[in-house]
Amino acid sequence: MTTTDTSPSLLSAQVTVRYPGKAPVLRGVSLEITRGEVVGLVGQSGSGKSTLAMAILGLLGRQRAIVEGNIVFEGADLLAMRERELRSLRGRSLSLVLQSPLASLNPALQIRTQLKEAWRAHSDGAATSGACDRAIQSALKSVSLPSGEDDNNEDFLRKHAHQLSVGQAQRVLIAMAIMHRPALLIADEATSALDVITQSEILELFARLNRESGMSILYISHDLPSVAGICQRIAILHEGQIVECGPTEQIFTAPEHPYTRRLMEALPQLPTRRELPIAKAQAATSD
């Protein structure tokens, strides 16, 4: 489905999600993402973060979820679309990166095969193999993986998932998600399985993709420091409702809702040198 919408709002959602016989998982959640914006969605486990992501992508139907309200993306209501129309958007205009890269990749297939299948799954029938190769090279280059411009490209593409580091596997997933240059990338706990250094590299990658391509990102995480490092606005989700939403600096320095204040108070504080065990031991020895 094509649209001619040129408004600054890329996505606007007002949505409730419930399952038969159970209390709602999301209760009138209101969220807006403008074009080129990185928005953080923060909440503890079970607050409904992933449910909102799946609702945006139209992937809750198989779980017998009842989704009410509207999710307007590029001028069209996703909840009013048929599955065939949603499939034409997923992977092209809307993409998803999950948190377990090694589990998300097929262990039996080479990386080259998986990249090609990901590209073909969201391309029209007239697309050529040359276009596929160019898209793969461009995506790999965007995520700083061997892209055909160096000698390591063929060796890398022949590898299987178990031969990659976790950071490389996550970059492959991101490459798959951005091959069609989506307007909105949803990153659902995409750095939670990574070590601190690799996490920092992936966050910088997201920031660069946003900066260079204008791609909007919904960054879902319970890790407040990583959210602070990449997001321009933050929405706080608590018990199925967004209780506060505002610029990152305001959320961190002047939170208004009691739950947001509790989150900020729970942030770990780096110890001063006098508090470190080695410093205490030295002080005790000198005494």
- In the prediction, which pLDDT does 256 show? 95
Q: In CATH, what number does 9-100+183-286 get?
A: 3.40.50.300
Total-model pTM: 0.88
Q: Would the CA dihedral through 54, 55, 57, 60 be positive or negative?
A: positive
pLDDT along the chain (287 residues), means of 10: 59 95 93 96 91 94 86 95 91 89 90 91 73 89 79 84 92 92 94 87 93 95 90 95 96 95 84 53 54
